[in-house]
Amino acid sequence: MVFDAWRASFELYRAQDAESAQVRAEHLSALDRQTPVLMAANLVNALMLLASMGGWHLQGAWAWLAALVAMVALALHGRWRRRGRRFTSASVRAMHRGTLRALLLAALWAVPALFWFDGAPPGQQLAVACLTLGMMAGGAFALYALPLAALAWLGVLLLGAVTALLTDGGSHAPMLTVLVLCFAATLAVSVLAGERKATMLARAQREATRQRQMVALLLRDFEDHAAEALWETGPDGCLTHVSPRLATLLGCEQAALFDRPLLHRVREASADAAVQLRMAFDAGRPFHDLRLAVPDGQATRWWTLSGKPLFDEAGRSEGWRGVIVDISTEVQAEQRLHRMAHVDALTGLANRLTLHEALGRRLAAGLPGALLSVDLDRFKAINDSLGHSSGDAVLQAVAERLSAGVRPGDVVARLGGDEFALLALSVADGAAALALGERLIQALEAPIVIGERHLSVGASIGAVLLHAHGDGVDEVLGHADLALYQAKEGGRGRCVLYDSALGERSRRRTALEQGLRPGLAAGQFELHWQPQVELQPWRVVGAEALLRWRHPTLGPVSPAEFVPVAEQTGQIQALGDWVLRQAVAAAAGPLRGLTVSVNVSPAQLRDEAFGERVRELLLHSRIDPRLLELEITESIFLDGVEGALQRLQALHRLGVRVALDDFGTGYSSLAYLRRFAFDTLKIDRAFVSELLRRPDTQAIVRTIVQLAQQLGMRTIAEGVENEAQLAAVAATRCDHVQGYLVAMPCTLDEFVGLRRRVEARRPQPAALH
């Protein structure tokens, strides 16, 4: 610690920065101001010493006194020359010159101890000792701001004192020497500590001065350029500080505001604002951002005031001081942002946020009403074909019709795109909600005239009664969306009221969506197999893979239910790839030699990488590609025809068989039969079930079979459940059959034994002709 203090004390003897130069100047100036007193003390001490030693006959006394007087005269002369001058910086050399002067003066005061102490009577020795120790202490403390000078002073006098004690001898000399050394060490440590505190104080004072100057500069700049203005009042409430900016904000001349109560000026602008400010003053506590509205012609100006009370040392009030800001621009921006946040910019209707807030208030109050979710049926086609300008005009016309069809107080909102919503406050039952929905649908069915075009838009609406199926905002909105979805599924142009059955279907669908991926990973899916039999001769030639899902809570789920969900959620690729892997593995193992049929979703065929994945599976399993048959439906051709055909043709060239499933029930695009050489046509079970009842069905099936034969395709009749149907199918010359008559779908292990039993259970020959 002492070493650190020593090192810090001598920093001023090395540092060349401006701040250190300023601190050196302050230390030297403080010592310079004490020069007359210190020099006078030196002369008085010298005369008293000579007088106490009893005479002027001491060896060299007159020379010593003359040298001391000369030193004092030089110091006083220098002080006289520097009078009235203020030094702001001092060099390191100036510090060293001060040290040299202290060293020379200390050498003069060491003379009495070195030359007059030894052999002197005890009384005179005591005078020399007291003087020497006194001069050590006095000089050290006088020179503490110049630590090197103070230590040089101490060192020289200490050398003189120790030399005198050791030269004089005596039994007490060693102990006295130790005491003198301890005294000098104590003085040295005190000098270093004092210098360090003085330097820190000087630096702190300079920093405080700099900060005061900076604050004053900032305040002047603040008042000249900032949007805010400072205000200050006395105990009587009158303004005592009036800047040009304050006068501008208050709308008065600067001179007219001095010694005028601030409250009077505010009252002239707005009585209400003056009341608010008066209440803040009466509270006697600091206040912040007190917002005041001040009329200004046709507009309104907005001020915010902040202030705090002022008190003297006795706690008496001296007035107030604070800041006033004109925030009119900010308030106008807030109002614009609020409008943007709550109003749809295109239609001027409420937006989603406003609807949420209004619905939340209605639900919280427990009041009745209905929420109607409106979706335009044909807007996308209009927007895509005629452009966004026409689309925007349609949306604005729809907004006008919806607003015209409701009662005052109802909230009509645009949620985004072509989605609207209506919060009807006067609707109390389902019949009224449906009636309102039908009126709105009729209003939107009327053509909208845009330029020379008459556009028909139409709408579907889902409605839900408040408090009937939940009290949460998101819950009510979700129920309205479910009802809207049901309306669109039912053919559009309809209004559907939400009920608990819709909620149950929604929850089941959500469970399916959330369970697909983990269910596949957990092994909840499995393949069942149904044999395909060639009629002549009666033998099993293939097997169709049928996907089954046993949900842990919902139980068995039909593919007709979960496959559309997988397609819509994008999980059909993973599910379809798993089915293909399992089917190809079965074809390479237990079903070796049989044609394995796998149903392929349109979503799978739209994937450009689908064909490559099938090729990799075949290559890895090493089965004949002709033993894999992909079953597709006619719906694949409705979207992305060319891409689907190209991928099918690439697989077909590889040897993979392709079957057209449910032929005759869908769009029956015969042109696709010419553009793609299918290997198999599968006749839907709907035709098989009517073969025995309707002759026209027999003609249709016979025509399909003949068409397939002419195009080189085989045919498979699905859904054959009894021998009568089998005979009817055989009569149409169909090649193959599949259905419960042959066997119900079963697991792979069961299928191996089932194959032999099916072939052994050959129907009567009459049924096959």
DSSP string, 445-495: HSPEEETTEEE---EEEEEEETTTS-S-HHHHHHHHHHHHHHHHHTTSS-E
**What integer pLDDT is reported at residue 400 of this predicted model?**
92
Higher pLDDT, 150 or 440: 440
User: 673-699 as b/e, with b when 16 or more CB fall inside 10 Å?
Assistant: beebebbbbbbbbebbebbeeeeebbe
**What integer pLDDT is reported at residue 530 of this predicted model?**
95
Strands 419-424 and 411-416: antiparallel
Structure tokens of 523? Answer: 């092994």
**What integer pLDDT is reported at residue 578 of this predicted model?**
95
Residue type, 98: G
Query: Taking 90 as the threshold, does the pLDDT of residue 639 lie above it?
Result: no
Cβ-proximal residues to 382 (8 Å cutoff; 6+ apart), any chain: 390, 391, 394, 455, 457
Are the CB atoms for 657 and 595 separated by under 8 Å?
yes
Please give the model's pTM, rounded to 2 decimal places.
0.50
Band of residue 664 on the pLDDT scale cut at 50, 70, 90: low
Burial class of 736 by CB neighbour count within 10 A (0 to 12, 13 to 18, 19+)? buried
**What integer pLDDT is reported at residue 531 of this predicted model?**
95
Higher pLDDT, 586 or 84: 586
Query: What are the helix and strand counts (H, E) for the chain?
Result: 29, 21
Query: Taking 60 as the threshold, does the pLDDT of residue 2 lie above it?
Result: no
Q: What DSSP letter does each residue of 237-280 carry, written as one string?
A: SBEEEE-HHHHHHHTS-HHHHTTSBHHHHHHHH-HHHHHHHHHH
Q: How many CB atoms sit inside 10 A of residue 413's CB?
A: 27
Q: Token pair 């040392």 is at which residue?
A: 313
Lowest average pLDDT, out of 278-287, 388-397, 661-670, goes to 661-670
Lowest average pLDDT, out of 93-97, 629-633, 638-642, goes to 638-642
Band of residue 329 on the pLDDT scale cut at 50, 70, 90: confident
- Closest by CA position to 295, among listed 319, 325, 248, 328: 328
Query: Taking 50 as the threshold, does the pLDDT of residue 743 lie above it?
Result: yes
Burial class of 229 by CB neighbour count within 10 A (0 to 12, 13 to 18, 19+)? buried
**What integer pLDDT is reported at residue 25 of this predicted model?**
66
Are the CB atoms for 543 and 597 separated by under 8 Å?
yes
Higher pLDDT, 715 or 145: 715
Name residue 529's beta-bridge partners.
Answer: 545, 746
Query: Taking 80 as the threshold, does the pLDDT of residue 733 lie above it?
Result: yes
Distance, in Å, from the CA atom of 637 to the CA atom of 626, rounded to the nearest integer, reads 23
**What's the pLDDT tens digit per position in 334-363?**
777 777 778 888 888 988 888 999 999 999
Query: Taking 60 as the threshold, does the pLDDT of residue 666 lie above it?
Result: no
Band of residue 575 on the pLDDT scale cut at 50, 70, 90: very high
Are the CB atoms for 216 and 208 separated by under 8 Å?
no
Distance, in Å, from the CA atom of 530 to the CA atom of 509, rounded to the nearest integer, reads 28
Query: Taking 80 as the threshold, does the pLDDT of residue 161 lie above it?
Result: no
What is the percentage of the chain residues whose pLDDT exceeds 70? 85
Cβ-proximal residues to 292 (8 Å cutoff; 6+ apart), any chain: 266, 270, 273, 276, 277, 302, 303, 304, 305
Helix (H) or strand (E) holding 179: helix 173-225
Helix (H, G, I), strand (E, B), or coil: what is residue 571?
Answer: coil
Higher pLDDT, 381 or 266: 381
Distance, in Å, from the CA atom of 246 to the CA atom of 713, rounded to the nearest integer, reads 96
Q: How many CB atoms sit inside 10 A of residue 226's CB?
A: 14
Cβ-proximal residues to 622 (8 Å cutoff; 6+ apart), any chain: 588
**What integer pLDDT is reported at residue 533 of this predicted model?**
94
What is the percentage of the chain residues whose pLDDT exceeds 90? 25
Structure tokens of 191? Answer: 């000098």
Distance, in Å, from the CA atom of 254 to the CA atom of 245, rounded to the nearest integer, reads 9
Helix (H) or strand (E) holding 52: helix 35-52
Distance, in Å, from the CA atom of 546 to the CA atom of 3, rounded to the nearest integer, reads 91
Name residue 599's beta-bridge partners.
Answer: 631
Query: Taking 60 as the threshold, does the pLDDT of residue 769 lie above it?
Result: no
**What integer pLDDT is reported at residue 216 of this predicted model?**
52
Are the CB atoms for 346 and 388 separated by under 8 Å?
no
**What's the pLDDT tens digit per position in 238-248?**
887 777 777 77
Band of residue 500 on the pLDDT scale cut at 50, 70, 90: confident
**What integer pLDDT is reported at residue 5 of this predicted model?**
47
Distance, in Å, from the CA atom of 230 to the CA atom of 245, rounded to the nearest integer, reads 8
Q: How far is CA 338 from the centre of its chain?
A: 22
Lowest average pLDDT, out of 215-224, 377-386, 634-643, 645-654, goes to 215-224
Distance, in Å, from the CA atom of 308 to the CA atom of 317, rounded to the nearest integer, reads 11
Query: Taking 50 as the threshold, does the pLDDT of residue 1 lie above it?
Result: no
**What's the pLDDT tens digit per position in 113-135?**
777 777 677 777 777 778 877 77
Structure tokens of 517? Answer: 């991926």
Measured in residues, the chain has a length of 769
Q: How far is CA 213 from CA 207, 216, 678, in A?
A: 10, 5, 94
Q: How far is CA 366 from CA 136, 354, 359, 469, in A?
A: 94, 19, 11, 13
Structure tokens of 739? Answer: 């259905």
Band of residue 321 on the pLDDT scale cut at 50, 70, 90: confident
Q: Give percent helix, percent strand, percent coil of the chain, each to the nearest 5.
A: 60, 20, 25
Helix (H) or strand (E) holding 127: helix 122-142
**What integer pLDDT is reported at residue 89 of this predicted model?**
66
Q: What are phi and psi of 490, to 5 degrees?
A: -80, 5
Name residue 433's beta-bridge partners.
Answer: none
- Closest by CA position to 318, among listed 218, 238, 398: 238
Output the CA torsion sign for 529, 535, 540, 542: negative
Query: Taking 50 as the threshold, does the pLDDT of residue 191 lie above it?
Result: yes
Structure tokens of 414? Answer: 């645009």
Q: Token pair 């009729």 is at which residue?
A: 442
Name residue 543's beta-bridge partners.
Answer: 531, 596
Cβ-proximal residues to 5 (8 Å cutoff; 6+ apart), any chain: 189, 192, 193, 196
Q: How many CB atoms sit inside 10 A of residue 409's CB?
A: 10
Average pLDDT of the residues of the chain: 81
Q: How many CB atoms sit inside 10 A of residue 221's CB?
A: 10
Higher pLDDT, 58 or 344: 344
Higher pLDDT, 328 or 28: 328
Helix (H) or strand (E) holding 434: helix 430-445
Are the CB atoms for 461 and 373 separated by under 8 Å?
yes
Q: What are phi and psi of 285, to 5 degrees?
A: -120, 155
**What's the pLDDT tens digit per position in 420-477?**
999 999 888 989 999 999 999 999 999 988 888 888 888 999 999 998 877 788 888 8
Higher pLDDT, 161 or 684: 684
Are the CB atoms for 679 and 627 separated by under 8 Å?
no
**What integer pLDDT is reported at residue 373 of this predicted model?**
93
